Amino acid sequence: EISEMSERSKQNVAHGLAWSYYIGYLKIVLPRVKKSMEEFSRANPNLLAYRETWKLHILVPLSCDIYDDLEKADSNIKYLTDLTETTLTRAGTKKRVYKHSLYTIRDEDKKLWHCAVEYATPLQSLYAMSQDECAAFSREDRLEQAKLFYRTLEEILKGSKECTGTYRLIAYEESGEAESHFLSREILWHLQQQHREEYTMYEGNQPHNPNTTLSSTELNLQISQSDLPQPLRSDGF
């Protein structure tokens, strides 16, 4: 009966996608991210200036609207290169390749920041389901599932020792107005926040460490915390 209720309310969709994303991808690639960043930094010592940003930045748009090309999403985001590939034999596929792309993000002062960034690909499935009549998946369902996906993924990663310090979740809800540089500002806010946190720790002060526990029923988009959605900030950024 519980299983049937979950099926009817679609509660199992986001939960399953989050676990699949973690087990089938993040648990494999995240422990290797910093090594790849270190290798790139040795070859390009002037580009990756802030070690605290040597993470995979995972974009979680609650609209589930994903661009295949980040440069088309925002002209302040430019592809730079790919990090070192990881090649594994996986599920019958010989030499399966896993890799991440490094991007240059230009801020309002024309300063260039660099980071590895990509979308959480399971959100494409949620979006496709909302476009397919067979799935009977409404836009409201999609939004709720996107929130549940984020909360579930965050809790999974919090409990993963292998992935500690290797990722940054960037969840956001785009405003109704067309903003050509919305995405770059979101990414930059997180990069600058990480840099400030690292600087504070280096100076020997206690960094601000907000409680990032989310409501079990609703993701509050107005909470200003480092790994929660940030577009409703009032800090002028």
Domain range annotation of the chain: 9-175
φ, ψ of residue 220 in degrees (nearest 5): -80, 110
pTM (2 d.p.): 0.79
Amino acid at the residue 220: N
In whole angstroms, what is the distance from residue 218 CA to residue 160 CA? 23
Per-residue pLDDT at 123: 95
69-116 residue pLDDT tens: 999 999 999 999 999 888 887 778 888 889 999 999 999 999 999 999
Per-residue pLDDT at 218: 45
Per-residue pLDDT at 225: 41
9-175 topology per CATH: Rossmann fold (3.40.50)
Per-residue pLDDT at 219: 55
Least confident of 32-41, 48-57, 79-88, 124-133: 124-133
Q: What percent of the chain has pLDDT over 90?
A: 50
Per-residue pLDDT at 30: 96
- pLDDT of 136 above 70: no
In whole angstroms, what is the distance from residue 185 CA to residue 31 CA? 27
In whole angstroms, what is the distance from residue 182 CA to residue 237 CA? 10
- pLDDT of 62 above 50: yes
Per-residue pLDDT at 161: 94
Per-residue pLDDT at 2: 44
* Between residues 133 and 53, the one the model is more confident about: 53
**Tokens 């946190």, residue located:** 197
- pLDDT of 185 above 90: yes
212-234 residue pLDDT tens: 333 334 454 433 343 444 443 33
Per-residue pLDDT at 5: 44
CA nearest neighbour of 73 among 105, 101, 39:
105
Q: What is the 3-state secondary structure (H, E, C) of the chain?
A: CHHHHHHHHCHHHHHHHHHHHHHHHHHHHHHHHHHHHHHHHHHCCCCCCCHHHCCEEEEEECCCCCCCCHHHHCCCEEEEEECCCEEEEECCEEEEEECCEEEEEECCCCCEEEEEEEECCHHHHHHHHHHCHHHCCCHHHHHHHHHHHHHHHHHHHHCCCCCCCCEEEEEECCCCCCCCCHHHHHHHHHHHHHHHHHHHHHCCCCCCCCCCCCCCCCCCCCCCCCCCCCCCCCCCC
Q: Is the CB of residue 49 less than 8 Å from the CB of residue 194?
A: no
153-175 residue pLDDT tens: 999 999 999 999 999 999 998 76
- pLDDT of 3 above 90: no
Q: pLDDT confidence of 138, banded at 50, 70, 90?
A: confident
- pLDDT of 201 above 70: no
Q: pLDDT confidence of 50, banded at 50, 70, 90?
A: confident
Per-residue pLDDT at 46: 79
Q: Is the CB of residue 10 less than 8 Å from the CB of residue 130?
A: no
User: Quick one: how far is CA 183 from the chain centroid?
Assistant: 12
